[in-house]
Every structure is written in structure tokens, then in C-alpha cells.
Amino acid sequence: MNREQALYNYVLRLGDDSLILGQRLAELCGHGPILEEDIALTNISLDLIGQATLFLEYAGSLGGENKSNDDLAFLRLEKEYVNVLLVEQPNGHFGDTIMRQFLFDAFRKPLLENLQNSSDEKLASIAEKALKETKYHLKHSSEWVIRLGDGTEDSHSKIQESLDTLYRYAHELFFTDEIDAYLQEKNIIPELISVKSEWENTVKEVLEMATLSFPDNNWKFEGGRKGRHSEHMGYLLADLQYMQRTYPNMEW
Amino acid sequence: MNHIWDLLNEVFDPEVPVLTVVDLGIVRSVEEIEEVFHVTITPTYIGCPAMQTIEKDIETKLREHGISNLIIQTSISPAWTTDWMSEEGKRKLKAYGIAPPQNEPDKSVLFADPIIVPCPRCDSDNTKMVSRFGSTACKAHYQCVQCREPFDYFKCFK
């Protein structure tokens, strides 16, 4: 493995996480539970797709094939996407959407904070830009987790179920393999220990305020980072890629 | 060079049409290198759909005035902050009915009190946040409790 290959693979992971979660939230455009939330969720979607644009543009320049960010976003096969399974999970009800967002935001914020110090200048500059928006997202998703958890009996039980279901996908956020090890050694990406401890603190603090309890089962799903996705991914990609597959090279 | 800055100060943001790209702090530098003008711009929010329009508007404006040797480049670092918005820009925002960014970002953690954003209509401090997200990425949605007027707040972004 060389530096460029490793970086390509890593940046693709960051880009795919942003892209797929951005696509999921975009599905809610016009379907939010209330007008303000409709606008909030699509604003977050827009930020994530903006982040994906930068990450995938950078990845494209590294891959050796000079692919554009659009090529990477629209023309890969399912097994070539390397996002975590968490972000491709369906929107479900509002509690599911918010819990998925919260578990992701709580991870993304400390990760980007650390990536700002990357020895790779380009990666550091994208992280610096994306961090400001991500902090805002985390604030929003945390507040809703608390509001729903510490809300009515109904909202509490619903979001507890969301947590029980989605928590099984959270472990994959901390997946590492030889790509990470290589980049960590070169000070391009951080060790995940500090990111993980901050994630755990945030999750613990918010769940306590939300009067929610940690799931007692210890199921862990993973596979996304290696291109093995849940059944939901194919449907998501069918929607995402429809225009480019149907009208190749079409532009707005 | 001043001429170019003057022209740029006539290019308006498509979403907040009282502000020019110079007021917003989007234009970071103008340089002349071997008779080619390099205009460097920076996005406010990465996904802001207005950026492409802004780039095109800048190019059109300069070409209309005979400046055709130009390159518009985008830089993302250092990342844009509302500190780069001009005082003139803040004044224009308020007159337009959008509360300008306060100097403090909203540091409220969870349910703590958010920062005070005075109403751009009646100047009352008695306002409340309706939603962190407004009609565009750069704004939040507020309402004045005093005069009951709903208004946009241009978020402090640092």
C-alpha cells in the first residue's frame, strides 16, 4: 500500500458516509413531521452533500484514474461504496431519523476536530470547513433526542426502540483496518481512542438527560466499510443513481 | 485593481440580495499575475447552492466591463466566518429585516439559553428562536415576542 492509495480509500469512506446520509435526509424533503423540521433536515442534508462533494472531489484526484466527484457519487456499484451501515438505514419514523443522526454527529464532530491537525493539508482544510456545520448538527440532534426521550410516554418508548435498533450499527463507526493503521502511522489521521471516548461521553450524557437506557444486547453489525451493505442500500442507490444510469452523462 | 473591487461590490448575493459578495466576505483576494486577474472566493457553507451562481455572476460582471483575462478560484481554508462580513453589510442586513450575526456563536449547550438576538424591526431583546435552521443554510428562524414579527437571523458562524 502506498500513501495515495491509503488516502484514497480513507477519504472515500468519509465522502460516502456524508453522501449516503445526505441522500437519506434528502428523501424527507417535503415529508418532515413539521415545517421547521422539514427545513432543518434538508439543511443538514445539504451540508452533508456539500461535504461529500469536497471529499469525493479529493478522492477522485487521488485514485489515479482522475474521476470526478460525480463519477464517484453516481457510477459505482453497491459493493464499491464504503459507508458505514448506520447511515444507509431507512428514515423510519422521526425518532429513528434523529437517533441515527445523533449517533453519527456525535462521532463526526470529534473525528473532524482531530482531522483538522492532519499532516495532509487538503484533508485538514476540508475537516476545518465541515466541522463548523457538524457542531451545529450535533446540537440539533442532541436536543431532539432529549426532547423525545424525556417527552411523553409514547415518544420515550419510540425513541428507546430507535436506540435499541440503531445502537447495533454504531460500533462500526470505529472500524479500523490496515488502511487506518497506515495513515495513523503517518499522522494523517488520528488514533480513534480519543474520538471514541468523546463519542461515548456525548452519548452517555445525552442519553441520561433523555432518560433513555443503553440497550442490553451486544449485537454488532458491520460490513459497510468493506462494501457489504444491508438490503436497504440497493434501493437507496437506485434512487440516487437513476438519472445518470438512465441518461448517461446528462448535466443540469 | 480598485476598479475590480468596485465592480465586485456590484455583484449581489442571490439569496440575500441586499448584500454584495464583498459585504459577505466571500471575495478573499484579487491578484494580477502576468496580466491575468485571479479572483479567489470562499464558500459560506459548503453545500450552499448559491455559490455556483455567485461565481457565474462575478465572471459575467467582470467580462461585461472588458475584463476577460480572469480566473476564478475557490479556496476553503481558512474557512469562512461571519467575522468577515463588513459593518456596512450588517447594517444593510438589519435594514432589510434580517438580524445580523451577533459576535458570539450560539454556545448554548442543549437546553441552555441561546444568545440574545435583537429584533431587526423593533430592536426588542425579547425574541425567541423558532428553529435553528431557516430558509437558507446561513440563517436561523426567530420570532420577536414584543412586536410578534417573525424574522430571519443570519447565524454567527465561527
Q: What mean pLDDT do residues B1-27 have? A: 92
Can you give the pLDDT at residue B101? 92
Mean pLDDT of chain B, nearest integer: 89
**Residue where a domain stops, chosen among B26, B48, B80:** B80
Read off the pLDDT band of B77 (50, 70, 90): confident
The string of pLDDT tens digits covering residues A118-153 is 999 999 999 999 999 999 999 999 999 999 999 999
3-class SS at A35? Answer: helix
- Give the count of beta carbons closer than 10 Å to the beta carbon of residue A213: 12
pLDDT in tens, A48-101: 999 999 999 999 999 778 899 999 999 999 999 999 999 999 999 999 999 999
Mean pLDDT to the nearest integer, A224-251: 95
Q: Is the same domain home to B28 and B75?
A: yes
Domain boundary among B80, B115, B130: B80
ipTM attached to this prediction: 0.83
Q: How many CB atoms lie within 10 A of CB A84?
A: 27
Query: Are B126 and B146 members of one domain?
Result: yes
Same domain, B92 and B76: no
A83: CB partners within 8 A, 6+ apart: A13, A16, A17, A19, A20, A21, A224
Burial of A74 (0-12, 13-18, 19+ CB in 10 A): middle
Q: What's the grid cell of residue A221?
A: 453489525
- The total number of structural domains in chain B stands at 2
Between CA A35 and CA A38 the distance in angstroms is 5
Q: With the CA atoms of A86, A92, A33 and A173 taken in that order, what torsion angle do they form, in degrees rounded to the nearest 10? A: -10
Residue A88 to chain B, least CA–CA distance (Å): 20
Domain termination site, one of B53, B80, B107:
B80
* pTM value > 0.90: yes
Asked whether residue B72 falls in the same domain as residue B95, the answer is no
CA distance A33 to B33: 53
A196: pLDDT strictly greater than 90: yes
Q: What are the backbone dihedrals phi and psi of residue A107, each rounded to the nearest 5 degrees, phi first?
A: -85, -45
Q: Which distant-in-sequence residues (6+ apart) come within 8 Å of B9 by Cβ? A: B20, B21, B22, B23
**Residues of chain A with pLDDT > 70: what percent?**
100
| pLDDT value, residue B69 | 93
User: For residue B70, what is the domain's CATH number?
Assistant: 3.30.300.130
- Quick one: which of B64, B63, B5 has its CA closest to B29? B5
Rounded CA gap, A107 and A125, in Å? 19
Residue ranges of domains in chain A, CATH in brackets: 3-246 (1.20.1260.10)
Chain B residues with CB under 8 Å of A40 CB are: 131-133
Question: Is residue B111 pLDDT above 70, yes or no?
Answer: no
Beta-carbon separation of A146 and B134 below 8 A: no
Based on the domain organization, do B94 and B62 belong to the same domain?
A: no
Q: Are B15 and B43 in contact (CB under 8 A)?
A: no
- Of all residues in chain B, the percent with pLDDT exceeding 70 is 94
Chain B residues whose beta carbon lies within 8 Å of the beta carbon of residue A49: 47
- Enclosing H/E stretch for A109: helix A94-115
pLDDT in tens, A161-174: 999 999 999 999 99
Q: What is the pLDDT of residue B135?
A: 84
Domain match, B9 and B75 both: yes
Q: A39 CA to chain B: closest CA distance, Å?
A: 7
pLDDT at B110: 55
> Hunting for cell 485593481 — which residue is that?
B1
Check CB contact under 8 Å for B133 and A130: no
Chain A contact set for B43 (CB, 8 A): 50, 129
Nearest CA to A99 out of A16, A167, A45, A172 is that of A167
B132 to chain A nearest CA, in Å? Answer: 7
Give the pLDDT confidence score for residue B113 in this predicted structure. 62
pLDDT for res A188: 96
Identify the pLDDT of residue B8.
95
Whether B112 shows a pLDDT value over 60: the answer reads no
Q: In the predicted model, what is the mean pLDDT of chain A? A: 95
Q: How far is CA A157 from CA A140, A204, A212, B39, B46, in A?
A: 20, 18, 9, 55, 36
Q: Which domain holds residue B6?
A: 2-80
Give residue-wise pLDDT tens across range A9-57. 999 999 999 999 999 999 999 999 999 999 999 999 999 999 999 999 9
Task: Please give the pLDDT value at position B125.
Answer: 93
Spatial distance between the Cα atoms of B30 and B42, rounded to a whole number of angstroms: 12
